[in-house]
Structure 1
Amino acid sequence: MMSRLSTAFVFIQAIVLCTGADPTPLVIWHGMGDSCCNPFSMGSIMRMVENEIPGIYINSLKIGDTTTADIMNGFLKPISDQITMACEIVKADANLANGFNAMGFSQGGQFLRALAQQCDGIQMHNLITFGGQHQGVYGFPKCPSSVTFCDSLRQILNTAAYRPVVQDHLVQAEYWHDPLHVNEYLSKNIFLPDINNENKVNEEYKQRLQALNKFVMVRFNNDTMVEPVASEWFGFYTPGQDEEVQSLQESDLYQTDQLGLKAMDEAGKLVFLATDGDHLQFTDEWFNANILQYLK
């Protein structure tokens, strides 16, 4: 029989284990037109998390040597190159070696999902995407106010998104999803059909995505940036037209389970959250009530 002294020692050890562990680190990837460390966007998010989870380590991914490069790479650097850079950053960060949670904002959401699927040897626990365009976009209603070439960008996407020179040099073209020309999308888009396992099933992509504890998708019900908004929950237009929207659960992607999302959903790993804001607009109170639980 265990002595009282031994029992007390085990009890103290349990307390230390429960209270002494450092918080799970966090990786953040910003959206289009933003940078890793903008004090009014990602900086604000970091401060909010740090206030609620003291001592948490946060790596806000910087894709480039300078802030300007980080911003411009979000428009002009091929996504595959960005994923490679992000993979190298994460692997080189000793603070992330034992695993981390991840939050992606707008296009940073699908980029972090690609990181989870394509970067071998990392341990992403929970993935949270805010307004991520997981099925892409078909429409480009507005850009951040800081971007001056929005009209040109919109025109290029509307007329020439699948031309090789555009695919190779314009990030947003790589998740342009034209439901009226499905075969062209599948054959000429160099990013989205690949990470969504639409042309062929990459078992490693599927297994790595399914290794997540939780995949949390946040939709902004009054989003004026993403068309269709359903993409934020992995839904999209029904193929062949651009009016009727189908949910993830209604899609062939789900029914065939070629990406493993149906199995994840049935296992309780998919979390669908919504807030009645415009693109990336939410309150601290909403964040604390709905998101913090996946960061602790």
Structure 2
Amino acid sequence: MASIRLFVSFVLLSGAFCRMEPVPLVIWHGMGDSCCNPESMGYIKKIVEKKIPGIYVLSLKIGSTLIEDMENSFFKNVNDQVTLVCDMLAKDPKLKGGYNAMGFSQGGQFLRAVVQRCPTPPIINLISVGGQHQGVYGFPRCPGESSHICDWIRKMLDLGAYTKEVQDRLVQAQYWHDPLNEEEYRKKSLFLADINQERFVNTTYKKNLMSLNKFVMVKFLNDTMVDPPASEWFGYYRSNQATETIPLNETLLYTEDRLGLMEMDQAGKLVFLGVEGDHLHFSKDWFYKNILPFLQ
């Protein structure tokens, strides 16, 4: 009798495993983009759904319309955006068991803030595609359709990236990292200095980031958009100059282990991927080969 019950339990358990749904995926777009652009996030959603039948893919929309979503990628306080997204994800019943997250460009560091600040529901794997985790120090070019906005951004940053008005208003100023004036950056950066633990160490941020199974960072090896491209692998300019860059393992964030990145690295949780091409330029085959395994 016991053996029969064991057999029945095994059959039922096997059936349950067979019916398990894929891990959901949450996507956050980059600057000047929107949740559902068929040439960008809509395309990513489509090819993921094709390869992983039945997967729930949520592409985040910050605002009530696609135009508002795009505008908010330039002009809505990042901390407010992260709070909005945390609330949105917590209320989504399809995510309650956990999900993978994939951020494109600035969406990469925004989703990292979600990991650090909002552990429920949990993010399993975080994939940052061209995210600027140490910030930027320049805007060498911008999307053509948003050229007027990019001109305005440059003027605002020229006036003073760390003034309260610019920090409150301009998204890109909130991850502007001036290596020539680190003290002002640490003191006045509204967003990046906080999530990078550059004022004080929030042990909860560190614990939450270390809970990831994998933190995947994609760097575009011919990037002309991000200055410096090393930021995509958590590297940055050496302090007090804007010429020489250093890798993650030479930064204070790593050697002082403010975020737990050293421990994550030693545990094999950090994954560094390089792809030939300019910012966010990759092929479908490259995506399937290198990114899809972290979503399955």
Displacement, 1:151? 1.9
Displacement, 1:10? 4.7
Aligned to 2:120: 121
**What letter is aligned with 1:114?**
A
Aligned to 2:69: 70
**What letter is aligned with 1:94?**
P
Q: Tell me, what secondary structure is at the counterpart of 2:63?
A: coil
Give deviations 1:72-124, integer Å, cap 9, x for gaps: 11111000110011011101111011110000000000000001111252211
Displacement, 1:235? 0.4
Aligned to 1:232: 232
**What letter is aligned with 1:79?**
V
Gaps of 5+ in 1: none
Aligned to 1:141: 140
**What letter is aligned with 2:175?**
Y
Displacement, 1:40? 1.2
Gaps of 5+ in 2: none
Q: Tell me, what secondary structure is at the counterpart of 1:59?
A: strand
Aligned to 2:88: 89
Displacement, 1:218? 0.4
Q: Tell me, what secondary structure is at the counterpart of 1:226?
A: coil
Q: Tell me, what secondary structure is at the counterpart of 1:200?
A: coil
- Report whether the alignment pairs 1:21 with 2:20: yes
Distance (whole Å) between structure 2 residues aligned to residue 10 and residue 90 of structure 1: 34
Q: Tell me, what secondary structure is at the counterpart of 1:115?
A: helix
Count of matched residue positions in the alignment of Structure 1 and Structure 2 = 295
**What letter is aligned with 2:69?**
D
The TM-score normalised by the length of structure 1 is 0.96
Q: Tell me, what secondary structure is at the counterpart of 2:227?
A: coil
Distance (whole Å) between structure 2 residues aligned to residue 28 and residue 149 of structure 1: 24
Aligned to 2:30: 31
Displacement, 1:156? 2.0
The TM-score normalised by the length of structure 2 is 0.96
Aligned to 2:102: 103
Equivalent residue runs for 1:239-278 within 5 Å: 239-278=239-278
Aligned to 1:220: 220
Aligned to 1:51: 50
Equivalent residue runs for 1:167-186 within 5 Å: 167-186=167-186
Displacement, 1:209? 0.5
Displacement, 1:18? 3.2
Distance (whole Å) between structure 1 residues aligned to residue 16 and residue 273 of structure 2: 32
Displacement, 1:267? 0.7
Give deviations 1:223-271, integer Å, cap 9, x for gaps: 1100000000000000110111000001111001011110111111111
Give deviations 1:24-70, integer Å, cap 9, x for gaps: 00100000000011111100000000000000001111111111111
Distance (whole Å) between structure 1 residues aligned to residue 117 and residue 289 of structure 2: 31
Report the RMSD for the aligned CA atoms in angstroms: 1.4
Spell out structure 1 runs of 4+ moving beyond 6 A: none
Give deviations 1:162-214, integer Å, cap 9, x for gaps: 11100010000000000011111111111111000011000111111011111
Distance (whole Å) between structure 1 residues aligned to residue 158 and residue 245 of structure 2: 20
Displacement, 1:152? 2.4
Distance (whole Å) between structure 1 residues aligned to residue 158 and residue 60 of structure 2: 30
Aligned to 2:78: 79
Aligned to 1:210: 210
- Report whether the alignment pairs 1:287 with 2:287: yes
Q: Tell me, what secondary structure is at the counterpart of 2:169?
A: coil
Aligned to 1:131: 130
